[in-house]
Amino acid sequence: MPMCREEDLSYYFNEMKEYFNEVLKKPLRISLADEAAIEYLKLDPEQFEVKEVEDLKDYLYDAQALRTLSGKKLHKKKNHLNSFLKEYEGRYEYRTLCCSDRDSVVEFLNEWWENKVEAAEFTRQLDYEVMGIHSILKNCSFLNVRMAGVFIDGVLKAFTIGSYNPFEKMAVIHIEKADPNIKGLYQFINQQFITHAYPEELILVNREDDVGMEGLRKAKMSYYPVDFARKYSVVQKGF
């Protein structure tokens, strides 16, 4: 969708449509249109086909719930966290990462990728994700991202990358990887990153979409999202 004030959205949407139709000689197509823009535009169903892209909705969580893992719903996550703290007491270190830690992250990522077993249809998504991580690491000094890692016995075993949206007081977690053989490590880095990398006034945590991967969907649902940031495709009809 056009990046503009809400009151200007209709004007710039029509400008885009005219450019597609008159210059490109193609129907207007928009992927990942946000729900607020769709609701505001109220597009004519005779002219546009609007469909929710179910696999690409972002999962939204209560920040305080992820910090404390309190309550019956998250009791299992809290147990995993406590198990990690007990088993690796004195051996782990949570640390804010910077661009100079790139080699450690790349080494861990390569090992993670070699041991990752996924269905063939999701290999491309994972390939693109790994490429994206390398791109972030290569350009991290130019990007407004926050990074952290967990070292066990001095070796990086988990890392995460996020950013902050101050307008919605929302953290966006772009990447989170951990050694799957270390019980409770995912819960630990998740909790620590939200606690240390973001301000106290943080309200929401956006952990992005599941790209249709069933295992990822189950993992995201297990943290009980409070809402979703839904995405839509928009296709112009009859052109």
Q: Is 92 helix (H, G, I), strand (E, B) or coil?
A: strand
Confidence bin at 141 (pLDDT 50/70/90): confident
Nearest Cα to 204, choosing from 93, 84, 67, 32?
67
Cα angle 90, 91, 95 (rounded to 5 degrees) comes to: 100
Nearest Cα to 13, choosing from 24, 4, 22?
4
Tell me the whole-structure pTM to 2 decimals: 0.89
What are 174-203's pLDDT values in tens digits? 999 999 999 999 999 999 999 999 988 899
Measured CA to CA, the distance from residue 71 to residue 75 in angstroms comes to 6
